Chains A and B, each alone.
Chain A
């Protein structure tokens, strides 16, 4: 058991989150610092996720750390049926910290309880992806100058989108007002709304995107996937109703920014990309700074 692991965003207090964001700001100013030159980081991707892996590898490289591991479980002993516990115990011998992505929910928590080095969860199935949440928080703070008292819109698949769930839960620490825009089939689950209610914060639910944009500080877009609908006709009906257009963006407040965890399909029209209010590509870059901050904080360097 190693308490320094980051498994779920709920493991961190508001103060710890703010300290990490501050540290990430330092790395933004000065990204290459050889703080991990004496460290070996294991990067275990039991399922492929190129985007997340590259961001971690970039962060580790900028810190001059060494990387061992695999990018896809099909080429490793995992394929021969080795248990997660055995893989983690073995890899613990060769590294100072393990970054892991795994298709099963709860796998990272289990790994953190058997490993004798810290674990960073880079996504455990449909459960948690805390570094995505941290980079979203960093992006919101950077574009708005604060995390406090914001009006945020969350758009698209609010039912299955784990990045939305984590971010909503994290933002309840900052007195956010939530504007939840989704088809009725994909509304935010009550288990997540419970966090909003516990803090006595306000939330509003909408099925129409256009009316929300002029009133919010930022908008977090997500992809609506065909496979989420039992009735394909229903998907066809809603798929174009949750597309953010340039016209909508032009009705927004001056401080408004568009966020998206990427990859995008068609939920943000391409003509939004050239707007100064489009932030999703910079948002991804912030992931490197946040991961540098996290690695160095956990390893105490």
Chain B
């Protein structure tokens, strides 16, 4: 267990976001804007996981996230956990929670929506949040609904 964890360098202080779907790792880095930050970042994909068979992981040094920041990725990675590290020790572990309102990170499916035609940040209310299969996003502007399987990230 310890040795597996070390496939991606251990960090002294910072945040580990674990149990990401492997194919979401690059999107998660982009959504959290980690590609534009100075903080050292380690990531791994296609790692073995007892729970999922295959997972991705991100470790960012010297960076902590507010829940509302990290919850932006909950739609992409609903099973992810955020682990805060201080002095090589885990100080807090939280699971992500899908927020009630999702702004900016998702595109509206309606090509005639104002958000797809002008410089307008998207905003969606999350419906059926508790029923994963039936989760839908309701566009605040055009009022169209996007089903979970059609969600597109910007």
Contact = CB atoms under 8 A, between A and B. Distances in A.
B89 interface: no
Interface string B113-151: 111011110000000000000000001111111000000
A109 B119 CA distance: 14
8 contacts: A83-B118, A83-B119, A84-B118, A105-B110, A106-B114, A106-B141, A109-B140, A128-B143
Contacts of A191: 145
Interface of B is mostly: loop
B50 interface: no
A270 B22 CA distance: 64
Contact of B120 (A110, A125, A126): A110
A206 B56 CA distance: 52
- In the A-B complex, the 3 residue pairs with the smallest Cβ-Cβ separation, listed nearest first, are A106-B141, A105-B142, A106-B142
Interface in A101-117: 103-107, 109-110
A4 B8 CA distance: 54
Interface in B77-131: 110, 112-115, 117-120
A2 B120 CA distance: 18
Contacts, number: 49
B145 A106 contact: no
A105 B141 CA distance: 7
B119 A106 contact: no
A132 to B, nearest CB: 16
Contact of B113 (A8, A84, A106, A128): A106
Nearest to B117: A104
Given A105-B112, A105-B113, A125 B118 contact: no
Chain A interface size band reads 10 to 19
A283 interface: no
Contacts of B140: 106, 109
A39 interface: no
A110 B139 CA distance: 12
B142 A125 contact: yes
Contact of B118 (A85, A109, A126, A128): A85
Interface of A: 8, 83-85, 103-107, 109-110, 124-128, 191
Contacts of A85: 118-120
B154 to A, nearest CB: 16
Nearest to A190: B145
B141 A126 contact: no
Contacts of A106: 113-115, 120, 139-143
A8 B143 contact: yes
A4 B115 CA distance: 23
Contacts of A109: 114, 140-141
A110 B145 contact: no
A89 B113 CA distance: 20
A110 B114 contact: yes
Pick the most buried of A84, A109, A126, A128: most chain B CB atoms within 10 A of its CB: A109
A125 B112 contact: yes
Contacts of A84: 114, 118
Nearest to B115: A106
Contacts of A127: 142-143
B113 A104 contact: yes
A191 B120 CA distance: 25
B60 to A, nearest CB: 33
Nearest to A126: B112
Contacts of A105: 110, 112-114, 141-144
A40 B96 CA distance: 50
Interface in B22-69: none
Nearest to A128: B143
A103 B112 CA distance: 8
Contacts of B115: 106
A104 B110 CA distance: 10
B28 to A, nearest CB: 28
B13 to A, nearest CB: 40
A104 B143 contact: no
A174 to B, nearest CB: 21
Contacts of B119: 83, 85
Contacts of B117: 104
